[in-house]
A and B are shown apart, each in its own frame.
Chain A
């Protein structure tokens, strides 16, 4: 006896079309409302924008793999442009050891020791910006420089060319999308930056005592192999910088457009952590991630998904799914954003999420202490990135307390 197999609804939007990269809401909504799982004809992949389905795919590592790439490229049929990321693009069992080492290197115990240093750094950054007075570009004067200082320092990277780290991450996240003209245009730069980052990840180029050196020490103890170590270090550089920068930009944008929420934070700076997670839910800096079925077909929600099929997860759509969130389009510190999928969920959940939270929390703490009011001082300009929701510029007026 066979059960009838449902054909998923077809959606013909291309989420990577230019207009959708600037305003993602219409596509998010169409995919989410068309059905729990849809077929995107423009890209020949399945997709979902429903919160509970995204969580299910993320949790079900046994059937939905990352080893075929977390971008659109399907490593079953396409050669990856670089060695696959570790542990991000590895499934168990290969995933286990590198993931465990990273979890320990970035543990909250390690981060607690960094907090006072990072807070002092945040206070200094905010003071400098306020000293300049008036309108600032919050993207380029605050959201980018602060993480670009503290995080690479903690990894043990040299102080030079920090902006290139951001450019590298931008290209990497772009490359998770289609290899279109945009990608081709930047391919040369990506190859150059990639070669440079590979050099940075070597043991001799990492300062002692940093996250990078700790990863190499774990390799010396045999916890990961010597071949894995530079790839694990690389994951800090590719996944730990742009996401945080755009996460911080998202919260600055959220407060600049919701002054009443800023007053709530000023009254209770203890809300900083919640505020950041609410901004990550609301803006979803990482918008799109793919998982892929394995060698066998998967029965999923009444649909049979064939082997080696890509499933696009529209993270931003899930984080605004009205089935899960009341008034999902509101940025609201009164809400408990727990359970959002902005950092993923399950086995591959962002291993650096506590680092990102700490960076945002210290910066918000410093700002809440010193800034009476902030507001947009012009029209912010979105950046183009296939996978990330970014700002190019974010003109903001800061009124000192």
Chain B
């Protein structure tokens, strides 16, 4: 029997910017799966297949990981992390230091790799690029849409979740490179029928190959997500000051407090609703400084423009943020 957890959880109206490690498990050579939950046991913000979250490590590094769990479980997220010895230390830290009970900062979930409707899906994964595709495959199963998966990796034991996939309904081609060499994507895909969508995630070489192959496909067939690793962006989960231009106030915002709360305490009310960064109600214009966006709502254009901020969850990269309030 399906059981809904009772209502009226404590802290219904508090903000969501931290997340707790509730499970760490080695799932393949060099890959750990991490299960995360809200530290106070609340439901986590909803997500769709292809979404990722920002994970902010205690050393200040920010890493993005695709959600690869089950969205019908509202209380936990699952991510999978490949150990990259040549990286800037994020995955290394997770593999060596991360432990159950730890609390990390987080932002999102955000989705730049949406699953669009299709009559047939072709999924192509290289190594850890399997992660965003797992929920997509689950979804295709749920909708009874035919799919097949080409999953390449260095060798069999490094390929995470391979056994989970063999139970799925579609057709899975596991292609460890040491046994079969590199797959020929154009060949595997064959003729693209109308209504087919190809989703590809993995290392740059694989994505380049998919893009070359897609030259002969109908427009909008190929969807890719590039992992940008080792960018080394640092979070600024430290105190900062919001300067409110119109009210002429300078408000310190401590870690653990939201800009929204700091403003409310100073008597400058901003209308809000979800307090999870998912609805867009608490948007305020940014006049100076650089926002550290933690929401799920703003588009890439909005984020890059840096001229607005959702104050219920987002913070600042600069020591001062000037807001139109």
Query: Apart from A107-B280, A107-B299, A228-B117, what 18 extra A-B contacts exist at CB < 8 Å?
Result: A52-B8, A53-B7, A53-B8, A55-B12, A63-B2, A92-B48, A93-B143, A96-B115, A97-B115, A294-B2, A297-B1, A299-B1, A300-B6, A339-B13, A349-B273, A349-B274, A353-B281, A354-B281
Q: Closest approach, in angstroms, between the C-beta of A273 and any C-beta of chain B?
A: 5
Q: Is the CB of A56 within 8 A of B8?
A: yes
Of A10-18, A216-224, A368-376, the one contacting chain B is A216-224
Chain B residues whose CB sits within 8 angstroms of the CB of A354 once the complex forms: 280-281
Any A CB within 8 A of the CB of B158:
no
**Contacting residues of chain A (252-295) with chain B, CB-CB under 8 angstroms:** 273-274, 277, 294
In the complex with contacts A223-B114, A228-B117, A61-B7 CB distance below 8 A: no
**Separation in Å of the B117 CB from the closest CB of chain A?**
5
29 A-B pairs whose Cβ atoms sit less than 8 Å apart in the complex: A36-B7, A55-B7, A59-B43, A62-B4, A62-B73, A63-B2, A93-B49, A93-B139, A97-B115, A97-B116, A100-B114, A109-B301, A109-B302, A222-B197, A223-B114, A223-B116, A225-B117, A274-B271, A298-B4, A299-B1, A299-B3, A300-B4, A336-B269, A338-B272, A339-B13, A339-B275, A353-B273, A353-B279, A353-B281
Asked whether, in the complex, the Cβ of A62 is within 8 Å of the Cβ of B74, the reply is yes
Contact call A92/B71, Cβ cutoff below 8 A = yes
- Chain A residues, Cβ within 8 Å of B1: 296-297, 299
Tell me how far the C-beta of B5 lies from the nearest C-beta in chain A, rounded to whole angstroms: 8
Q: Which 6 A-B pairs have the closest CB atoms?
A: A56-B7, A296-B2, A63-B4, A338-B272, A222-B220, A52-B8
Contact yes or no, B271 A343, CB < 8 A: no
Contact status A277-B139, CB under 8 Å: no
Are A298 and B2 in contact (CB-based, < 8 A)? Answer: yes
Closest chain-A Cβ to B197's Cβ sits at a distance in Å of 7
* Bound complex: CA A294 to CA B4 (Å): 11
Who on chain A is nearest to B48 by CB?
Answer: A96
Q: Are A349 and B279 in contact (CB under 8 A)?
A: yes
CA A337 to CA B48, docked complex, whole Å: 29
In the complex the two chains form, is B299's CB within 8 Å of A104's CB? Answer: yes
Please tell me if A347 contacts chain B, counting CB pairs below 8 Å. yes
Total chain B interface residues with beta-carbon distance under 8 A: 44
Indicate if B26 sits at the interface (CB-CB under 8 A): no
Which of B7, B116, B299 has the most CB atoms of chain A within a 10 A radius of its CB? B7
Check if A130 is an interface residue, CB within 8 A of chain B: no
| Residues of chain A from 50 to 107 with CB closer than 8 A to chain B in the complex | 52-53, 55-57, 59-64, 92-94, 96-97, 100, 103-104, 107
A336 and B312 alpha carbons, distance in the complex (Å): 14
Contacting A at CB under 8 A, from B31-73, are: 43, 46, 48-49, 71-73
**Could you say which residues of chain B place their CB within 8 Å of the CB of A301?**
6-7
C-alpha spacing A62/B2, complex, angstroms = 10
Residue pair A343, B48 in contact (C-beta under 8 Å): no
Rounded to whole Å, the gap between the CB of A371 and the closest CB of chain B is 23
Chain B, range 89-121, C-beta contacts under 8 Å to A = 111, 114-118
B236 contacts the other chain (CB 8 A): no
Contacts of A109 in B (CB 8 A): 299, 301-302
Q: Mark B113-142, 1 if CB is under 8 A from A, else 0.
A: 011111000000000000000000001001
A53 cross-chain contacts in B, Cβ below 8 A: 7-8
Whether B308 is near chain A, meaning CB under 8 Å from some CB there, is yes
The answer to whether A346 has its CB under 8 Å from any CB of chain B is yes
Q: Which residues, 299 to 323 on A, are CB-close (under 8 Å) to B?
A: 299-302
Question: Which residues of chain B are near A346, meaning CB under 8 Å?
Answer: 46, 274
- Which residues of the partner chain A approach B46 to less than 8 Å between Cβ atoms? 61, 346-347
